[in-house]
Amino acid sequence: MFLIAAGVGLGLGVLAVLWMFWPIGQDGYGSSLGELGLPLACGAIAGVLMGLICCSGAHAALEIQAAGKPEASGTRQSAAAGLGAAVAAMLPAVAIAAMGLGDTNPAPFLGTALGLLVVCFAAGSAILAGLNCCTARG
């Protein structure tokens, strides 16, 4: 589960950097790998760390659920994993939202924080649903 989460985080971190630099690339900056190498590396590392943090939250939520209901269905396990991942993403999301409080237009910061929570919930839930599906098949 941690390896899959790290891979998903890496991919999403790289996509986030490309999404951020896409408008700048239209103006001529970031059109070569040399100019995007460092931001892509930082995005990949941040994505892996975020994936591991969210996976830790999902794992903790699954352990808490297993203590209360050891025979939970796959759907309940997926929901618990998604919730745990979203709770683990609260600290970075609050930090992102706080950066926008002093800005004249905080909507992009708040949208990014909310998007981070949604993506972490969806990824945590989907990863566990996929793992449950693969183990159910054999």
Query: In the chain, what are the domain boundaries?
Result: 2-137
pLDDT at position 106 over 80: yes
Query: What is the pLDDT averaged over residues 121-135?
Result: 86
High-pLDDT (> 90) share of the chain, %? 36
- Report pLDDT digits (tens) over 14-56: 888 887 776 666 666 656 667 778 888 998 999 999 999 999 9
Q: Give the integer Cα–Cα distance in Å for 35 and 118.
A: 30
Q: Which residue carries 């990014």 as its tokens? A: 112
The pTM assigned to this predicted structure is 0.80
Matching residue, tokens 């943090």: 53
